[in-house]
A and B are shown apart, each in its own frame.
Chain A
Amino acid sequence: MELDLFIKNFAEQFDEADVSVFTAETKFKTLDDWSSMTALTVIAMIDSEYGVQIKGNDIRDSITIKDLFDKIIAQKK
């Protein structure tokens, strides 16, 4: 399970944003393209790629991409 790969998978869910914009410290909810629809897409990607069911509350409680990644790790255990 790699953070870099997760950042890449995360970035791929955004149609318009430049991939280089995405780092572990990116506050993803402040991105222009972030919406409730993107949130659903990210949740679906995490389920599909990592077999983990992130909830809306997990998204709400995360600030950075790394925060989200940590939640996946915690649920994988």
Chain B
Amino acid sequence: MYNPFSLDNKTILVTGASSGIGKATAIECSKLGAKLIITGRNEERLSETFNKLEGSGHQKISADLSNIECLSSFIEELPLLDGLVNNAGITEKIPVNFVTEEKIRHLVNINTFSPILIFSTLLKKKKLNKGASVVFVSSISGNYISDFGNSMYSLSKGAIQAFAKNAALESASKNIRVNCICPGMIDTSILKDSAITEEQLQEDAKKYPLKRYGKPEEVAYGIIYLLSNASSFVTGTDIVIDGGFILQ
């Protein structure tokens, strides 16, 4: 059957696959024929994702990839990849006058250093096939919007967008494409048990032109486009998936 978004015969690594966008992405990619390698810190939830993958030949590896010592050995064990989805990330709302070096480092280690080092190590160890596609999950908080308490999260995601554009230029000679997905607020557990209540999230959703938050699979479909051959002429760009929020 004709399908330009097919991921048949592609081996794809998805980080942060225990929940949210990473989980949805892994599952949807499997439905399109990809072989997945999924990672996450929570073994139990990673197994839940793994059990929902369609097809066979997938792998799950419980790992904290923000730990640099683990990263190198993790990458060594990987097969050659056709896709990388750098999705793992956290958020924290902290007003600027309470920002500390420790808090910056914690957020930036996970959201910025880790995805960059995963990509650069894969390149160095020649684990990315020619024609591979690399997707960084950034955020509209990166370079599009600002919000009270969001300075560090914005910093960590904006840096990714800047990095990705330069990496796209460098990687083009190997026909490796590098793009970002910039979601708005998505229904995931990233803000569960945080400074923000459920009621506040419900009120916030009404501010979206499409009057709701996005679903994780709606971000996954954008990622799938970038991973598939349908986007073979697309590199160094951002795909915004935000219900129209940045239009306002």
Partner-B contacts on A (CB < 8 A):
36-37, 39-41, 43-45, 47-48, 54-57, 59-60
CB distance from A46 to the nearest CB of B (A): 10
B188 in contact (CB, < 8 A): no
Given contacts A37-B148, A37-B149, contact A44 B98 (CB under 8 A): yes
A36 CB, nearest partner CB in chain B, Å? 7
Q: Are A56 and B195 in contact (CB under 8 A)?
A: yes
B interface, how many residues as a size bin?
Answer: 10 to 19
Q: What are 21 A-B pairs at a CB distance below 8 A?
A: A36-B148, A36-B200, A37-B148, A37-B149, A40-B94, A41-B95, A41-B97, A44-B94, A44-B98, A44-B149, A45-B98, A48-B98, A48-B100, A54-B195, A55-B194, A55-B195, A56-B194, A56-B195, A56-B196, A60-B197, A60-B199
The CA-CA distance from A24 to B95 in the complex, in Å, is 25
6 nearest CB pairs, A to B: A44-B98, A56-B197, A40-B149, A37-B148, A43-B195, A56-B196
Chain B residue nearest in CB terms to A56: B197
Q: Which of these, B97, B98, B200, contacts A56 with CB under 8 Å?
A: B200
Decide: B98 and A47 in contact? CB cutoff 8 A: yes
Additional pairs, 13, CB under 8 Å, beyond known A47-B98, A54-B195: A36-B148, A40-B93, A40-B94, A43-B93, A43-B195, A44-B94, A44-B97, A55-B194, A55-B195, A56-B195, A56-B196, A56-B200, A60-B197
Which residues of chain B come closer than 8 Å to A59, judged between CB atoms?
197
Within residues 121 to 176 of chain B, which ones have a CB less than 8 A from any CB in chain A?
Answer: 148-149
Residues of chain B at the chain A interface (Cβ within 8 Å): 93-95, 97-98, 100, 148-149, 193-197, 199-200
Give A58 Cβ to nearest chain B Cβ, in Å. Answer: 9
A10, chain B: closest CB distance, angstroms: 14
Q: Which of A37, A40, A48 has the most CB of B within 10 A?
A: A40
Q: How far is the CB of B218 from chain A (nearest CB, A)?
A: 25
Nearest neighbor of B148 in chain A, beta-carbon distance: A37
Smallest Cβ-Cβ distance to A48: which chain B residue = B98
Contacts of A43 in B (CB 8 A): 93, 195
A40/B148 contact (C-beta < 8 A), A45-B98, A47-B98 known: yes
Kindly provide the distance from the CB of A71 to the nearest chain B CB, expressed in whole angstroms: 14
> In the complex, A45→B149 CA distance in Å?
13
Note all chain A residues with C-beta closer than 8 A to B95: 37, 40-41, 44
Cα–Cα, bound, A59→B194 (Å): 11
A45 to B97, CA, bound (A): 10
Q: Who on chain A is nearest to B204 by CB?
A: A36
* A-chain residues with CB within 8 Å of residue B100 when the two chains form the complex: 48
B109 to chain A, nearest CB (A): 19
Please indicate the chain A residues that have their CB under 8 angstroms from the CB of B200 in the complex. Answer: 36, 56
User: What distance in Å separates the Cβ of A19 from its nearest Cβ neighbour in chain B?
Assistant: 18
A32 to chain B, nearest CB (A): 18
Shortest CB–CB separation between residue A67 and chain B, in angstroms?
A: 16
| B157–chain A nearest beta-carbon distance, Å | 19
Q: How far is the CA of A21 from the CA of B23 in the complex (A)?
A: 49
Complex interface: chain B residues within 8 A of A57 (CB): 197
